[in-house]
Amino acid sequence: MKKLLKKAAPIFRQHDGALTQELVLHPGDFGLGKVPARLTPDATTTVVCGFCSTGCGLNVHLKNGQAINVSASSDYPVNLGMACPKGWEALTPLAAQDRAMTPYLRNDAGELEPCDWERALIIFCERLKEIQKKYGRESVAWLGTGQIVTEELAFLGALGKFGMGMIHGDGNTRQCMATAVTAYKQSFGFDAPPYTYADFEESDVIVLIGSNLCIAHPIMWQRICRNPHKPEIIVVDPRKTETAMAATQHYALAPKSDLILFYGLANILIASGWINRGFINSHTIDFEEFAQFVTRFTSDYVSEATGLSVDQLWRFAETIHAGKRVSFWWTMGVNQGHEATRTAQAIINLALMTGNIGRPGTGANSITGQCNAMGSRLFSNTTNLLGGHDFTNAQDREKVARVLDMDAGCIPDGNSLAYDEIIDGIGSGKIKGLWIVATNSSHSWINQNSLRELLGKLEFLVVQDMYHTTETAQCADLVLPAAAWAEKDGTFINSERRFGLVKKVSRAPGQALSDFNIFKLIAAYWGCGQMFEKWTSPEAVFQILKDLSRGQPCDITGIEDYRMLDECGGVQWPLPETGKPSTGKLETERRLFEDGRFFHPDGKAKFIFEAPRETPEKTCDNYPFILLTGRGTSSQWHTQTRTAKSAVLRKLYPENVYVEMNESDAERLGIKPGELVRILSRRGEVKAAAVITPAVQPGQVFMPMHYAITNQLTFPAFDPQSRQPSYKSCAVKIERDIF
Ligand code: SF4
C-alpha cells in the first residue's frame, strides 16, 4: 500500500489541505464548473434524456455556461418536439439536497461520515485487494447499470475485468433486458432489436405485449398516435392498463399464460395456411419441427389455459393474418417472467412465420427500459466481451486485446456470474467484496429482504452514486460521489439502436466526479493506470469502441465523432465505414434484416421453442391472489431516487403506495376504497391503500414497483436462459388492516 500511495500521491493538487477540483493527471477531463469548449456559454444545445430508453432529444438552455432549463427538441428524429413529464423535469434532480458531494466512509460507530477523495481511493483499493488476496480474484464483483454513458460502462467493465482482475460483474440491465438479449442472440445470432421508431407509424397492426406503452414509453405511444393507417392496436396484458384502454383489442389473459397463447396463435396461423412460406423457406430454419410442436396447442386447450375464448383467439389470429405490416412489441411483462426467453422467442416466431420482419411497419421488437440499457448490452464487458464479442472465444479475446494494446491473458476466458448468482455468491461466501455503480439494488432487487440481509454479510460494500441517501448507499461501507446525467459527456444507445449524445451542461456539486473520472482515478490508485493511458476522455474511448465494433453486427466505424452524432440527431447502429453515403445525408431511420439475412453463420433465423412450465409460485388457500407489479405513472422512474426530487413530478402520482384490486374481491373482503390493507406473501408483509378498480381481474392485485416495499413481497424465480427475475407474478393474501 505504501508503494501505491507513493504512486498515487501526485494526482491531486491541494491548497490548505483542501482538495481542489483540478487534478494533475488529466486536468481537462477533471475540470468542473466549465462548459465544454464546443458549447457557447449562453447557447441552447441538444442532449439525450437520461431517464428511459426512448432517447428523446432535450434542448438544454444555458446561461453563463450552466443549464437553466430544458425543452423538447423539435428536430430530434426520436421525439419530434415531444417530451414526457420526466424529460421536462430532467434538471431538477441535479439540484437535490441529498446529492453526494464528498466520499463517505463508515466509521467505527457504524455511521457514514465524509472523507476526502484520496482516503476514499486508498481504502477502496486496500480493502478490495485484501479481499482478493485472501479469497481469490473471484471474491470481488461489481453490479453496474444502464444509467451511465457507454464510455463509462466500457471503462468500468475493462477496469474491473482487465485491470482489477475481477471475473464477475453484471448490470441492473439483467432485471429488465436480459431476456430480450438472450432471445435475440439465440434466434437471430446477435442481440439485435430490428426496428426503428418509424415502424410505429407504418404498421397497420400493432401488437403490444406486456407493455403499458402509454405511461412507460409515452413518446413511443405518441409515435403510434401519429400513425396515419388507422392501425389495429392489440394489447396483451392481464390488466386493463392505460394502453389497453386505448387499444382496439385487449386480450386480458391469465397471468403468465402468454407462452401458451403465442403457441396457440402459431397453431391457428399454420393450420389455416396464414403464413409466409417463401420467407420461411429462404430465411429460417427449424420451422417444420416448430409447426409439429404447436399442434398440441389446440384452441380449446389454449382457451382453458389463458382464460380467453376460442373466438378471441381466432379474432387475434385473423387480425395478424389480415395485416400487411404487423409489428410485435414487447417489454417487461414478457421479459420479467419465469419462461421469458421462450416467450420472447414465441413472439419472434410469429413475426418470422408471417414474414413480418425487415419491412417498414413490422418486426419482433423488444422495447428497452433504461436510457442506456442498450449500451450496457453491447459495451459493458459483463454478458458480452466489449463490442458484442464472446469471452469464451479465443479469437475474440485476441481481437479485443489487440485493439486495447494489452495482453490477451488479462481477459477472462469464461462468462461472469449473473446478478442473482452474484447475490447467491454472497450467501455462499464466494463473494466478499461488492462495488455497486449507479443502481439501487436494495430497493429494486426481487425479494428485497433477503438481499438486504446478504449485503450485510459482505466484508466490503462500495456504492458509487449521485445520492448518498439511496437504500443501497445507506448499506455501504464506502460511498463514492458521482456526477449525474448532464454533468458529463458521453453517449447513450436508445431502444432503436441510436447512439445519441449526452453533454456536460451543468456543474457537478462539491467533489462529485463523473464516473469516467472516478474509474480513471481508481485505475491509477490500483496500479493499472498505464493500461488506460489512451482512455483520456469519453470521446477518446468512443474512438476505441468504434475499433472494437469493427466487423461486428454493431459496427459503428462509420460514425466519425461526437460532432457527427450531434449534427445527425444521433446515428443508429450499424454504420460501418463502408456504409456511409458518399454524398447526401445519412438516413435518419434504418431497420435491420431488410435483406432477409440474419446473424447466424448460415444467415438464417431459428425457430426456437420449448414446452411451457408451471408458474413457480401458484396461488393456494393461504395466498389466493396473484400479485402483478409494474410501472405506476409516467412521472415515476424506477426506484424514484431522481423523480421523487421533483415537486412537479410528485404531484403527478400518489405519494403513498397503493394496491389495485377488483371490486368483487374488495366487496367480499369488506374493503373500502382508500382503506389501508395488509398484503402478505411468504417473504414479507406490507401495508398499502386499496384502489378498487375493474382494471385488475378478480383474484389479481397490482402494485407499482416504484415504492420500496413492493419488492418485499416478490418471489425470486428466474428465467433459466436469461437469469432475469420474474417480478410479474407471485402469490399473496390481502387482509383488512384492523389493528
Ligand atoms: Fe425522457 Fe423517456 Fe420521457 Fe423521452 S419518454 S422525455 S426519453 S423519460
* Cβ atoms of residues 713 and 679 within 8 Å: yes
Evaluate: CB of 52 within 6 angstroms of ligand 1: yes
* pLDDT average, residue stretch 171-198: 96
Query: 319-360 pLDDT, tens per residue?
Result: 999 999 999 999 999 999 999 999 999 999 999 999 999 999
Evaluate: CB of 86 within 6 angstroms of ligand 1: yes
Element (H, E) at 62: strand 57-63
- Whether 11 shows a pLDDT value over 90: the answer reads no
| Per-residue pLDDT at 24 | 36
104-176+374-579: in CATH 3.60.20.10? no
CATH architecture of the domain with range 20-95: Single Sheet (2.20)
* Cβ atoms of residues 606 and 682 within 8 Å: no
Q: Which of 54, 211, 371, 637 to mutate to test the pocket of ligand 1 (most atoms within 8 A of CB)?
A: 54
Residue (of 177, 147, 184, 145) closest to 725 by Cα position: 177
Residue (of 176, 170, 178, 617) closest to 425 by Cα position: 170
| Per-residue pLDDT at 30 | 47
Question: Scanning the structure block, which residue is given the C-alpha cell 407462452?
Answer: 259
Evaluate: CB of 483 within 6 angstroms of ligand 1: no
Pick the CATH number of 178-366 from 3.40.228.10, 3.90.79.10, 1.10.10.10, 3.30.365.10: 3.40.228.10
* pLDDT average, residue stretch 658-684: 97
**What is the phi/psi pair of residue 519, to 5°?**
-65, -40
Evaluate: CB of 59 within 6 angstroms of ligand 1: no
- Whether 65 shows a pLDDT value over 90: the answer reads no
| Per-residue pLDDT at 5 | 34
- Whether 36 shows a pLDDT value over 90: the answer reads no
Q: Which of 86, 492, 642 to mutate to test the pocket of ligand 1 (most atoms within 8 A of CB)?
A: 86
Residue 219 CA, ligand 1 centroid: distance in Å: 7
- Whether 212 shows a pLDDT value over 80: the answer reads yes
Evaluate: CB of 680 within 6 angstroms of ligand 1: no
Q: Which of 47, 74, 76, 219 to mutate to test the pocket of ligand 1 (most atoms within 8 A of CB)?
A: 219
How does residue 448 score in pLDDT terms, banded at 50, 70 and 90?
A: confident
* pLDDT average, residue stretch 166-172: 96
Q: Express as a percent the part of the chain with pLDDT over 70.
A: 95
- Domain locations along the chain: 20-95, 104-176+374-579, 178-366, 625-736
Evaluate: CB of 498 within 6 angstroms of ligand 1: no
Q: Express as a percent the part of the chain with pLDDT over 90.
A: 90
Element (H, E) at 334: helix 332-335
Residue 12 CA, ligand 1 centroid: distance in Å: 38
Query: 733 has which bridge partners?
Result: 680
More confident residue, 585 or 405: 405
Q: What does pLDDT average to over the chain?
A: 93
Evaluate: CB of 167 within 6 angstroms of ligand 1: no
| Per-residue pLDDT at 579 | 81
Spatial distance between the Cα atoms of 110 and 477, rounded to a whole number of angstroms: 9
- Full 3-state SS string of 27-52: HHHHCCCCCCCCCCCCCEEEEECCCE
Give, using CA atoms, the residue closest to atom 2 of ligand 1.
52
Q: Which of 49, 493, 649 to mutate to test the pocket of ligand 1 (most atoms within 8 A of CB)?
A: 49
Pick the CATH number of 625-736 from 3.40.720.10, 2.40.40.20, 3.40.50.300, 2.40.128.130: 2.40.40.20
Spatial distance between the Cα atoms of 100 and 121, rounded to a whole number of angstroms: 16
- Full 3-state SS string of 416-456: CCCHHHHHHHHHHCCCCEEEEECCCHHHHCCCHHHHHHHHC
How does residue 587 score in pLDDT terms, banded at 50, 70 and 90?
A: confident
Question: Scanning the structure block, which residue is given the C-alpha cell 417480478?
Answer: 727
Query: 63 has which bridge partners?
Result: 66
* pLDDT average, residue stretch 55-74: 94
How does residue 20 score in pLDDT terms, banded at 50, 70 and 90?
A: very low
Q: What angle do CA 562, 566, 567 make, to 5 degrees?
A: 120
